[in-house]
Structure 1
């Protein structure tokens, strides 16, 4: 009998993160799933360690694709998936025990919804911040959110494989493949939704000076272009063009100002928590 939901994960050199995604998924309250893990050409001991996990739990299926890159590896993983629902899980994040149960029940009850997100905790090592992110819950609100930012934590979404097939899979682009996919879902008539419950934790890890200053800059500019794309393709009000323009200002704002900009200018719903490096 086919499973109702397939968890998909891609990993590259994830040796130091085996204490995060793996126990959090294997200990879900909803246990009738398959887990497709694609090793994306790791050069450390990741693949060998994954094979050990699969040997201990038959729900885990390991694929060694060679180095494909993020978007292609995600598409490859979903191609192997047998279920109608797909739950993405990044290897360095965690899902709370009830996550799959809650999202399966939601998709069962809302056949018009193509993708569903949730509230989640952000552990930002770069800015030494810890807070709860609360996405909008309704479709129209989430469409407007796409003019401002990425509406969901990709690591904690669940979506219909049918919607992914209609969209042609993740676009083969270097970043923001998730936002591109949600825009395409909406263009095909699927509704977007988010569950107002904390269902996981997403980490933003410290990086080198090069990555902090150059990769981050490129990503923010790319997001601004995608925000404008969402405005045009989803027929959002043209005045919302202030948000992609504002992303360029946000890019150069000091960290102390970024939280204010997210919450009061971009309308992001967040609740600050105490930050601890041990989290």
Structure 2
């Protein structure tokens, strides 16, 4: 019997995915002690539990008003009845084996962030069932899906929780702080265990102005760069920055 885990979801105006999301929870919350904690971050129409799940003690919805995504994530984790946490966006789906496989990895080592691939990810050959990523890899690009993250509460606590003062890049900031401050390891299961909604009109990321995103990302990366040893990823990211800078000069 595996250890219990809690699905954490933050949402604002996600009614279009409500029924599908709760149906997915029914499929994946199969372990004794599994729970789901949902924080409604100020939806126009407050999120409610479907009528057939009203008396399900494993589900908890919190309505704190508009407190922001970082604060909502922290509130959800604070209210989790288990030490193991799995993030899931309301518009994404977890496949049946996701929680079992991520719990297995976390039980071997609590001090890691465990991700999974998505069904829509390009196929790439790999021999390892579990891949490990240097945090410096995130300076070149981010191949990780926050909606697939699982971790132990101790990593979140040691890292100081999610930032509440950033307009975006909250996930990136947390990954880097977990590695630099909590000394956590980034791992990713090679098999696809989530199904993502790819319509850009429904993705929070797509609604962020590009200038704001680029400015915030640069600030986050600069904050943790001094804590990382030199690596080929940092060198590649720096080279790309120089190339983009030169291209702007030419125009």
TM over 0.5: yes
Cα distance, 1:53 vs. partner?
5.8
Checking the alignment, whether the CA contact within 8 Å between 2:91 and 2:197 is kept in structure 1 is yes
SS of residue in 2 equivalent to 1:18: helix
Counterpart CA distance in 2 for 1:4 and 1:196 is 23
Aligned twin of 1:98: 97
Deviation string for 1:6-43 (max 9, x for gaps)? Answer: 11111111111124432222201743311001111111
Cα distance, 1:247 vs. partner?
6.3
Q: Which residues of 2 match residues 1-279 of structure 1 at below 5 A? A: 4-28=4-28, 30-32=30-32, 33-44=34-45, 46-48=46-48, 50=49, 52=51, 54-111=53-110, 113-122=111-120, 131=122, 137-139=130-132, 141-172=133-164, 173-187=166-180, 188-207=182-201, 215-237=209-231, 240-243=234-237, 246=240
Cα distance, 1:178 vs. partner?
1.3
TM-score, with structure 1 as normaliser? 0.73
Cα distance, 1:143 vs. partner?
2.0
Larger strand fraction of residues: 1
Checking the alignment, whether the CA contact within 8 Å between 2:140 and 2:233 is kept in structure 1 is no
SS of residue in 2 equivalent to 1:47: coil
Greater Cα shift, 236-245 or 150-159: 236-245
Counterpart CA distance in 1 for 2:239 and 2:217 is 10
Counterpart CA distance in 2 for 1:180 and 1:212 is 18
Change (3 A) 1:153 1:115: same
Cα distance, 1:207 vs. partner?
3.3
Checking the alignment, whether the CA contact within 8 Å between 1:30 and 1:98 is kept in structure 2 is no
Number of matched pairs: 237
Checking the alignment, whether the CA contact within 8 Å between 1:224 and 1:244 is kept in structure 2 is no
Counterpart CA distance in 1 for 2:195 and 2:153 is 24
Change (3 A) 1:132 1:170: farther
Deviation string for 1:116-174 (max 9, x for gaps)? Answer: 0011134xxxxxxx7458999544x3323122123420011001101111111101112
Checking the alignment, whether the CA contact within 8 Å between 1:30 and 1:100 is kept in structure 2 is no
Counterpart CA distance in 2 for 1:108 and 1:248 is 42
In structure 1, the gaps of 5 or more residues are 123-129, 254-279
Change (3 A) 1:214 1:104: closer
Counterpart CA distance in 2 for 1:72 and 1:96 is 27
Counterpart CA distance in 2 for 1:78 and 1:148 is 29
Cα distance, 1:100 vs. partner?
0.7
Aligned-residue Cα RMSD (Å) equals 3.2
Counterpart CA distance in 2 for 1:102 and 1:37 is 22
In structure 2, the gaps of 5 or more residues are none
Change (3 A) 1:18 1:85: same
Checking the alignment, whether the CA contact within 8 Å between 1:227 and 1:244 is kept in structure 2 is no
Counterpart CA distance in 2 for 1:95 and 1:4 is 16
